[in-house]
Chains A and B, each alone.
Chain A
């Protein structure tokens, strides 16, 4: 049985239009034939009424295809080759564990956006942004708005003084509440080229408490706008609301992630007790593996790329 909704005149609130009664044909048809004919006429008139009651419904075959959103460079050449950039007017998720390169990719995207002359906003749920990393990434500090969520906010101070257990809130939930409220306000204000939600240090349990309706509302807020909405987290939490999902991974072997100018250093690290002094070691960068887990923007098959980052002191 079809699950399609049948719109009847009653459902649409429109009067049922009766066809005019046919003239009786005396003597030409039998009673049974007359009955069948009348039933057919009733059915025919019912179908006509439905058709006349559905003038505004567009058949699915004629629906317009949603235009492809404009893509903006992410600041990382390899990432742009993988995804085509970051889509405007859509939600992008960048997920991964610690040291997978999420913040590096985030800062590179912010640097690219500020270089284009756009204003960006970063809502930091854990107040984890490092100012020197921001400057080293090439971000124009005048164009970056930093919202630092924390436990010493005015609202949280008032609840802390409350003696009622029901009024006291979990600090993680309080930070998330601040993040969601600030995001709502910034999306409403408009004018930002990129808005970033930094949930990287929020526990998965707390992050999953953000309702999907909230993500949907955020996505609707940036639709048809040139704003890139970017969320970084440990695991995907926005469900189908995100148009682009990137998974970042850290290689399990430590030696492959260490890039040093001296190849000897990599070999020396294979031994448990290295004879080389530790002050001769230097973290020169990380290796980042990015997998395109989902792309609704440009339907591409899942694939991954790897690239290296450099620390600010690596030169």
Chain B
């Protein structure tokens, strides 16, 4: 039986470096606390060389000009922890969430999938690196030995069964304790370490060599337990945890971003990490949610949601909100008045004093099919942000992905061509930027008799499938083409000369072709509906023939009985 342990040393620093890899070779320190009493809680080796140590105040650390200071980010630490669990889950279903920086999982039965222990270890290390984790990987015959070795040995370590005491002997005593302990646990651990240090016990080998009875008399069961750990003889069962399917990545910015180009750079990194995590769990995503925290100087806290790319369930109220929200963003930036009824319904007003408040700008990207392509996601987000810019400097970026099963497609040699979903989605987003979001898509007829009873919905090219050959009778195959109507949008207002209530002559100011004497007419046909609704309609329809140069054109003429007026709705073509 083998167990693997992933340990991320200096977790707070690792979380920051995962968000900002370019700081890898710079001295960096993470601070925490309320100003002006912020204290350094973690430093990397470059900062340690500059004599920056934990427990220093931020003011003291700022004296070092080369030092990069970052505030502790619980969100980034949570993302890093989730990435670590995703890495473990991709190798074994039995994963224990030991600590925020440690995870242990059972490798039983994994040999047939991943190969020998060295191969598995290297694969784990590679996967962790892909997810942005600089972790120590250890494989041992029991969980605690793997944990202690991961805390002590950098890189990849494999401890053969029976050699635990020998391998762990050289490690210092402090590896027996988690360096993120707090409160009473930390005090107890410190006292133990102090006691052992006074005895001259500084390595695990020395602790393992102590007589058990004497140790238990002085340190009790805790001492015996520590000795077992030092010998690598402790055994316990893992407490597996089902990692929640939450895929989020976030980064807080030191300086607000104003332009979309640097934002795209950060989004690219976050999307790469997100896709790597989803890929490690063999998942894709069908919905991305981008939340941008904006810097707002007006002193009013408000939160509103923008519509994003319209989905099928979007109604008229959301369409109105979409029209209001961008103007509301400008309104907020200009410090405008919120007494107008259209805006007060859409935001919460705070009575807080003048101060820097944050505004959340949310965009939702709904995909037609589950996808896992960071480049496509980035391009779609860029197109969306170009069409709907945030309107204020950005101080925090948060992306979450809704996991979904990846789509399975069976290709075929004889299937009709179909657009690739990722390419099509990008193309549709680009076309929407040209003609408008509601102006591209598929047609869906509504359950109404209204002449314009249709709506635009998202166009989805499903996986090409073979169309079943319908056996239709020859008479159906040979049916004639259906006469089509070409509509004028909006309908053309015309001046009609009537005779006995029937159109005799037409004149359209906007279109000179639509005028002349009526050669032939059919109608009127009374057409009405939705009388119970605000959008009731009632009209008389005529089919006319007018001379159009040397030829004849057929038009549909309507007389709006509710609003009055004559219109040419379209031409039969």
Contacts and interface: CB of A to CB of B under 8 A. Distances in A.
Same complex origin of A and B: yes
Interface of A: 75-77, 97-108, 115-119, 126-138, 141-142, 144-150, 152-155, 178, 181-182, 185-186, 188-193, 200-201, 226-227, 249-252, 254, 257-258, 269, 278-279, 281-283, 285-286, 307-312
Contacts of B456: 146, 148
Contact of B525 (A138, A153, A279): A279
Give the top 6 A-B pairs by smallest Cβ distance, nearest first: A191-B419, A117-B467, A281-B522, A131-B454, A250-B551, A189-B427
B417 A192 contact: yes
Nearest to A130: B485
Interface in B425-478: 426-428, 430-431, 433-436, 439-445, 451-454, 456, 459-461, 464-467, 478
A98 B431 contact: no
Given A97-B553, A129-B443, 11 more contacts: A75-B481, A103-B486, A104-B484, A105-B481, A118-B416, A133-B484, A191-B417, A192-B419, A250-B552, A252-B552, A254-B519
A312 B482 contact: yes
Contacts of B442: 141-142, 144-146
Contacts of A150: 435-436, 439, 489
A285 B480 CA distance: 10
A59 to B, nearest CB: 37
Given A102-B573, A281-B521, A193 B417 contact: yes
Given A141-B445, A258-B520, A286-B572, A185 B481 contact: no
B166 interface: no
B190 interface: no
A88 to B, nearest CB: 10
B499 to A, nearest CB: 10
Contact of A279 (B424, B453, B523): B523
Contacts of A106: 484
Given A98-B571, A178-B434, A191 B424 contact: yes
Interface stretch (B99-107, B247-255, B541-549): B541-549
B573 A99 contact: yes
Interface residues of B, number: 72
A196 to B, nearest CB: 13
Given A269-B520, A286-B554, A309 B434 contact: no
Contact of A250 (B387, B426, B486, B553): B553
Contacts of B445: 131-132, 135, 141
B487 interface: yes
A81 B554 CA distance: 27
Contacts of B236: none
A126 B466 CA distance: 34
Contact of B551 (A99, A128, A178): A99
A146 B573 contact: no
B464 to A, nearest CB: 7
B420 interface: yes
Given A146-B441, A147-B431, A152 B436 contact: yes
B483 A286 contact: yes
B570 A128 contact: yes
A97 B573 CA distance: 9
Task: Name which of A107, A130, A200, A285 has the most chain B CB atoms within 10 A of its CB.
Answer: A130
Task: Name which of B436, B441, B488, B523 has the most chain A CB atoms within 10 A of its CB.
Answer: B436
A254 B420 CA distance: 48
A309 B481 CA distance: 5
A98 B573 contact: yes
Nearest to A260: B522
B182 interface: no
A181 to B, nearest CB: 5
A225 B454 CA distance: 33
Given A252-B551, A285-B483, A117 B464 contact: yes
